[in-house]
């Protein structure tokens, strides 16, 4: 049984709780939505799922219904008490009180590979959390995250898009990403002022270049995204290195695909 709107409100009021704006708390209060997310996550018996920002357990319950083992992470101490009560009799659910941005991921994942991250991510941590997980938590092989629509578009943006940026390149380095659905504001308590979307992120082998050789270059260029690369990367990349990498120095950062960035970074490293 997942939470309806009256259930969410009752859980909050009965415990003297209220959604915290500083933590970006918007609780899903629609059983069909959380079951759709669990279905899109394609998890079931034998799978290990980590949920970030579990809140009152709406999505937690839907994930548990699939038969997956769920580790539900929540930072808000008040919500943790309510969450533990909600899942007390639900098999396969473990509640962890912790800040997702400061997790000991090795301990949390218990050395098991093949984890799936499924979460309604708070808007204020979505982008850095996805980036950190891709960089440092290889045990998580897939993600299905609900984020603000504009964040979703940046995570999955192709080259040439107006929202294509450094995070788009980082995601492309580690994984394949695509938007798999929209979530209306009407399913949340409280109702946010933005629409949300679901992004599927699936790891793949990265290019044969170290992140430390690639990402600083990308960030520097996108720091002045409206300028041509010969200006935004002045003092970083020479004309000869642009030529060796097969990248026009008159291009702007959003025009370069991952392969272009890799060639340019390799050209710098080779000289």
The tens digit of pLDDT for each residue in 161-219 reads 999 999 999 999 999 999 999 999 999 999 999 999 999 999 999 999 999 999 999 99
What is residue 5's predicted lDDT score, i.e. its pLDDT? Answer: 87
What is residue 1's predicted lDDT score, i.e. its pLDDT? Answer: 67
What is residue 220's predicted lDDT score, i.e. its pLDDT? Answer: 98
pTM for this entry: 0.94
What is residue 257's predicted lDDT score, i.e. its pLDDT? Answer: 98
Same domain flag for 95 and 184: yes
The residue segments making up the domain with residue 192 are: 5-203
Of 165, 181, 203, at which residue does a domain stop? 203
Q: Which residues contact 225 (CB under 8 A, 6 or more apart)?
A: 165, 232, 252, 253, 254
Helical axes 77-86 vs 58-65, angle rounded to 10°: 30
What is residue 271's predicted lDDT score, i.e. its pLDDT? Answer: 61
Q: 152: alpha, beta or left, given left = phi > 0 and alpha = psi -120 to 50?
A: alpha
Task: Using CA atoms of 80, 84, 90, 91 in order, give the dihedral in degrees to the nearest 10.
Answer: 90
Of 183, 203, 223, at which residue does a domain stop? 203
Same domain flag for 78 and 119: yes
Same domain flag for 36 and 11: yes
CATH number, residue 18: 3.40.50.150
Q: 46: alpha, beta or left, given left = phi > 0 and alpha = psi -120 to 50?
A: left
How much of the chain, in percent, has pLDDT values that exceed 90? 88
**138: number of Cβ within 10 Å:** 14
Tell me how long the chain is: 271
Which residues in the chain come in under a pLDDT of 70? 1, 271
Of 151, 178, 203, at which residue does a domain stop? 203
Same domain flag for 59 and 127: yes
Mean pLDDT score of the chain = 95
């Amino acid at each position: 049984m997942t939470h309806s709107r009256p259930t969410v409100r009752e859980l909050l009021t009965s415990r003297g709780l209220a959604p915290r704006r500083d933590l970006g708390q918007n609780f899903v209060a629609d059983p069909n939505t959380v079951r759709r997310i669990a279905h899109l996550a394609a998890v079931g018996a034998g799978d290990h799922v980590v949920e970030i920002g579990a809140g009152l357990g709406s999505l937690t319950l839907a994930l548990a219904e699939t038969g997956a083992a769920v580790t539900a992470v929540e930072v808000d101490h008040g919500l943790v008490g309510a969450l533990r009560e909600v899942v007390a009799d639900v098999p396969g659910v473990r509640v962890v009180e912790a800040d997702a941005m400061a997790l000991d991921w090795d301990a949390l994942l218990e050395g098991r590979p093949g984890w799936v991250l499924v979460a309604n991510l708070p808007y204020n941590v979505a982008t850095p959390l996805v980036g950190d997980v891709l960089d440092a938590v290889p045990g998580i092989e897939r993600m299905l995250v609900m984020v603000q629509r504009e964040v979703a578009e940046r995570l999955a943006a192709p080259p040439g898009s107006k929202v294509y940026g450094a995070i788009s390149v980082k995601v492309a380095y580690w994984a394949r990403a695509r938007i798999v659905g929209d979530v209306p504001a009407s399913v949340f308590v409280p109702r946010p002022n933005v629409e949300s979307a679901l992004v599927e992120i699936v790891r793949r082998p990265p290019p044969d270049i170290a992140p430390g050789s690639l990402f600083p270059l990308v960030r520097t260029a996108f720091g002045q995204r409206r300028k041509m690369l010969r200006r935004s990367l002045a003092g970083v990349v020479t004309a000869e290195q642009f030529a060796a990498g097969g990248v026009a120095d008159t291009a702007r950062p959003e025009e370069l695909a991952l392969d272009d960035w890799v060639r340019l970074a390799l050209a710098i490293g080779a000289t």
